[in-house]
Amino acid sequence: MAIKGKAPSASSVEQNVYKVFPNDLNSKYTVFGGLVMSLCDRTALIVAERHSGSTCVTAAVDSLNFLAPARAGDTLIVKAAVNRSWRSSMEIGVHVAAEDSFTGNTRHVVSAYLTFVALDDSGKPRSVPDVLPETKVQKRRFDEAQVRRDGRLASKRR
Ligand SMILES: CC(C)(COP(=O)(O)OP(=O)(O)OC[C@H]1O[C@@H](n2cnc3c(N)ncnc32)[C@H](O)[C@@H]1OP(=O)(O)O)[C@@H](O)C(=O)NCCC(=O)NCCS
């Protein structure tokens, strides 16, 4: 029997770490934004595939805000969790921090919301388990995700 619902903690990625080297930098010697976007997408994909138990594709990326630059030598720490699911789609929230390995100081670099769709063997969208939020924070994210989805689908129709 298919699983009816799963808690976000069952699929979350608590710490995906990436050490920044000089070949990760742009011409201003800060981390190339595309690298951070790729890290967000890959980490969120892990969450979506854990939650759904299926192959998933990225359907949409919204609100990817670069809040501060990361630099050579920093360690990027990526956290991701599923906020809410609908029939075949899931919203995954991602948080990226840059850590100075010598001092342990961290800066919030990026927050993003990504939507993934689970696919069946023939490549068609398939249903996914509900998200069962447990904590106050997870419940807030669950409620806010519906508002974001409504906006996302409205802007897709425009
Ligand atoms: C994402 C994709 C599978 C959706 O397929 P589709 O034929 O539009 O299927 P549907 O209309 O049934 O939509 C499936 C789900 O995706 C959601 N969806 C589709 N586009 C979306 C968007 N831009 N934002 C949010 N959700 C979206 C729908 O709301 C639906 O969700 P639900 O089942 O939870 O209600 C299809 O558009 C696709 O394959 N896109 C390319 C994906 C890809 O290659 N990603 C990598 C990019 S490099």
pLDDT for residue 59 is more than 60: yes
Band of pLDDT at residue 41, cut at 50, 70 and 90: very high
Residue nearest to atom 11 of ligand 1 (CA): 125
Site residues for ligand 1, CB cut-off 6 Å: 57-60, 86-89, 115, 117, 125, 152-153, 156
Strand order in the sheet with 13-19: 13-19, 75-85, 89-99, 106-119, 55-66
Total structural domains within the chain: 1
For the chain, the helix, strand and coil percentages under 3-state DSSP, each to the nearest 5: 30, 40, 30
Report percent pLDDT > 70 for the chain. Answer: 99
The CA 59 to ligand 1 mean position distance, Å, reads: 5
Band of pLDDT at residue 63, cut at 50, 70 and 90: confident
Tell me which residue range forms the domain holding 37.
5-157
Residue listed under structure tokens 């993003």: 112
Ligand 1 nearest atom to the CA of residue 128, by list position:
34
Residue nearest to atom 28 of ligand 1 (CA): 89
Write the secondary structure of 9-24 as one string of H (helix), E (strand) and C (coil): HHCCEEEEEEECCHHH
CATH of the domain at 128: 3.10.129.10
Contact (CB, 8 A) for 43 and 78: yes
> Can you tell me the mean pLDDT for 86-101?
97
